[in-house]
Amino acid sequence: MQHNPIKFNLELNPNVSVDCVIFGFDLEQLTVLLIDRGEIPSGFGPRMALPGNLIYDNENLDMAANRILDELTGLNNIYLEQVGAFGDPDRIHKESDREWLKSIRAEPEARVITVAYYSLVPISKYKPQAASFAKNADWIPVSQINELAFDHFEILQAAKDKLKQKIKIQPIGFNLLPAKFTLSQLHRLYESILDKPLDKRNFRRKIQKLNILTSLREKQRGVPHKPSLLYEFNEEKYQELTQTGFDNFGF
Amino acid sequence: MQHNPIKFNLELNPNVSVDCVIFGFDLEQLTVLLIDRGEIPSGFGPRMALPGNLIYDNENLDMAANRILDELTGLNNIYLEQVGAFGDPDRIHKESDREWLKSIRAEPEARVITVAYYSLVPISKYKPQAASFAKNADWIPVSQINELAFDHFEILQAAKDKLKQKIKIQPIGFNLLPAKFTLSQLHRLYESILDKPLDKRNFRRKIQKLNILTSLREKQRGVPHKPSLLYEFNEEKYQELTQTGFDNFGF
DNA sequence: TTGGAAAGTGTAAATTTGACACAAAGCTAT
DNA sequence: ATAGCTTTGTGTCAAATTTACACTTTCCAA
């Protein structure tokens, strides 16, 4: 479907876009999929930005977020959660930002309000797509990011906070892991999201007590140390658990 | 400041509004400030709606929410938190909804995306304002609401959930109470937000242990039973508490 | 065969939670 | 004045949870 930008009076009508914070986990640390906007004259701000696009008039907000995710990663049916809306009137102020906006067919003079989402992607399933803006996408460790274009750094911060809260309440971390994973991987994942060390034995005890993991009769292969048992997340058992009113992992 | 609606091509440019879920507490139960849209022909949907308005082009989202709150209640400096953005393309479908939109100067044919906020108001400070849309505002117990105009019921639900989560993590409940309050009132407040009974003695023990209340040397007066001691929330002590990494009340 | 590296495992002390009942204080009505 | 009503305010014990902490096992590689 084609959309042509049209001039109009902007007084009460901002552009509305959707930006996605796409989290991944490389089994070491939490990462985010960022777009490199390319060479930008010095003094014109960060090159890296969150993937995003204007919403179409026939889709709702969730659909727009899924579309962006699909175009960029080829994945659908991905865990997706809204972070919130962001939109200072002076959000866009750099010339380079205006150029960028034109490239996604937004009115460069218009105010842009953006609705941010975060999504959790099993990094192993990610394959770079052909879509133009996906060419320069890359996974960057969250801990290494200290600036982004527009207000995207603020959005990333908000997304991290949301994720941190959510993981204390729901077992969404599994969306970042391969179907079969080790307890140590899960442990590292929780540590990097909560951004604090967790005692190994206590973590294992707590997770196992919840009884939402299926232990496979299968071991890691080819690791230069004692191989770990592999586990699967068990959706049904988690459903049973929620029936009991459970809503707190106690991290 | 005057804003006149202008015809334009809507393809990529929805109206953006802000709606507020204004919570109060009448010392018995949680309430919400709703607008009665007046007589509506039968079959045209609920009369009651959340207060809201289009955003102006020179204000950010938080400012818009504060403005709506101020116009409606005369209060500012009120606890305010974003719930999120809502906006299905077919959100507006009833004739009565279109009429209502005109009255707030929105394009009745346009798609409307709304950013929802919730705020916590000490009900005792509320005085009805002269603003036109404030004429028919009223506090309605949350438990009695089972339908609202547009998608406002869904928004209310989301706001309740957010509040429930937040109060487990931060002592924001005090924003709903008068400066001096009793432990029983605080107890009732937590019960109505969490929507479950809490043991009286255990609740008191837990709250007092946190050491964020100042016990006044003052009693309730004029109550037909043993008068309660009055307490104040102590911001400084709460700040000390957060320094320790505390972020969980354990409810 | 040995060395390196991560997996996997148990206990004891401290803290927190949950369940539970009755006396004290002030108002009201007589 | 007093009897009755209503809500406040308080302690303990058992069970569950949390925290801190170190050594053996298993596989791979050299």
pLDDT band at A5 (very low <50, low <70, confident <90, very high): very low
Which of B60, B88, B165 faces A60 most closely, judged by CB atoms? B88
Q: Residue B24: is its pLDDT beyond 90?
A: yes
Contact A50, A112 (CB under 8 A): no
The structure tokens listed for B77 are: 């400096």
Q: Chain A: give the shortest CA distance to residue B208, in Å.
A: 21
Map out the domains of chain A as residue ranges.
15-167, 172-243
Query: Mutate which of B2, B6, B12 to disrupt the A interface (most A C-beta within 10 Å)?
Result: B12
Residues B210, A219: Cα–Cα separation, whole Å: 46
Which of A139, A209, A135, A228 is CA-nearest to residue A176? A139
Question: Which tens digits make up the pLDDT trace of A169-193?
Answer: 999 999 999 999 999 999 999 999 9
The string of DSSP letters for B78-105 reads -EEEEEEEE--TTS---HHHHHHHHHTT
Widest Cα–Cα separation across chain A:
67
* Mean pLDDT score of chain B: 88
pLDDT at B127: 87
Distances (CA, A) of B126 to A170, A236, B33, B79, B182: 37, 48, 10, 14, 20
Residue A15: pLDDT band (50, 70, 90) is: confident
Band the pLDDT of B130: cuts 50, 70, 90: confident
Is residue A153 scored above 60 in pLDDT?
yes
Place B46 in a pLDDT band, splitting at 50, 70 and 90.
confident
Q: Do A61 and B169 touch (CB under 8 A)?
A: no
Mean pLDDT, chain A, whole residue set: 88
Say if residue A4's pLDDT is above 50: no
In this model, does residue A62 exceed pLDDT 80?
yes
* Bases of chain C with protein Cβ within 7 A: 4-11, 16-21, 24-28
Of A2-16, A60-74, B152-166, B195-209, which range is least confident? A2-16
The answer, for A59 touching chain B at a CB cutoff of 8 Å, is yes
Q: Give chain B positions within 8 Å (CB) of A165.
A: 165, 169
- What mean pLDDT do residues B177-206 have? 98
- What is the reported pLDDT for B129? 84
A58: nearest CB among B8, B55, B89? B89
- Whether the CB of B128 is below 8 Å from some CB of chain A: the reply is no
Q: Is the CB of B38 under 7 A from strand D?
A: no
| B6 Cβ under 8 Å from any chain A Cβ | yes
Q: How far apart are CA B149 and CA B144, in angstroms?
A: 15
Please name the residue whose C-alpha is nearest to the C1' of nucleotide C19.
B199
From A116, A92, A89, select the one nearest A17 (Cα to Cα): A116
Under 8 Å CB-to-CB from B139, ≥6 apart: which residues? B24, B26, B31, B32, B33, B34, B123, B126
pLDDT at A92: 61
Specify the pLDDT at position A17: 92
**Higher-pLDDT residue of B47, B22:** B22
Token pair, residue A225, equals 């140390």
Task: Assess contact for B86 and B114: CB atoms under 8 A.
Answer: yes
Taking CA atoms, what residue in B is nearest to A166?
A: B165
pLDDT, mean of residues B216-227: 94
Phi first, then psi, for residue A240 (nearest 5°) are: -55, -45
Q: Which of B152, B181, B172, B184 is nearest to B88 (CA)?
A: B152
Enumerate residues 20 to 39 of chain A having a beta carbon within 8 A of any beta carbon in chain B.
none
Share above pLDDT 90 across residues of chain A, in percent, rounded to a whole number: 71
CB atoms within 10 A of CB B102: 11
Q: What is the pLDDT of residues A99-150, one digit of tens each?
A: 776 776 666 667 889 999 999 999 999 988 877 777 789 999 999 999 999 8
**CB proximity B228–strand D (7 Å threshold):** yes
Checking if the pLDDT of B134 tops 80, the result is no
Asked if the Cβ–Cβ distance from B85 to A84 is below 8 Å, we say yes
What's the confidence (pLDDT) of residue B9?
38
CATH 1.10.287.990 fits B172-243, yes or no: no
d(CA B196, CA B204): 16
ipTM of the complex, rounded to two decimals:
0.91
By 3-state DSSP, what share of chain A in percent is helix, strand and coil, each rounded to 5? 35, 25, 45
User: Residue B248: what pLDDT?
Assistant: 96
Question: What does each C-alpha distance from B57 to A10, B63, B77, B142 come to in angstroms?
Answer: 8, 11, 22, 33
> Does the CB of A227 fall within 7 Å of any strand D atom?
yes
The answer to whether the Cβ–Cβ distance between B12 and A169 falls below 8 Å is no
φ, ψ of residue A241 to 5 degrees: the values are -60, -40
A221: CB within 7 A of chain D nucleic strand: yes
Which range, A43-47, A77-81, A111-115, A219-223, is most confident?
Answer: A77-81
**Amino acid at residue number B72:** L
DSSP assignment of A40-106: --TTS--SEE--EEEPPTTS-HHHHHHHHHHHHHS--S-EEEEEEEE--TTS---HHHHHHHHHTT-
A64 CA to D7 C1' distance (Å): 55
Q: Which CATH superfamily groups domain A15-167?
A: Nucleoside Triphosphate Pyrophosphohydrolase (3.90.79.10)
Note the pLDDT of residue A123. 94
Q: What is the pLDDT of residue B41?
A: 62
- The whole-number pLDDT of residue B105 equals 67
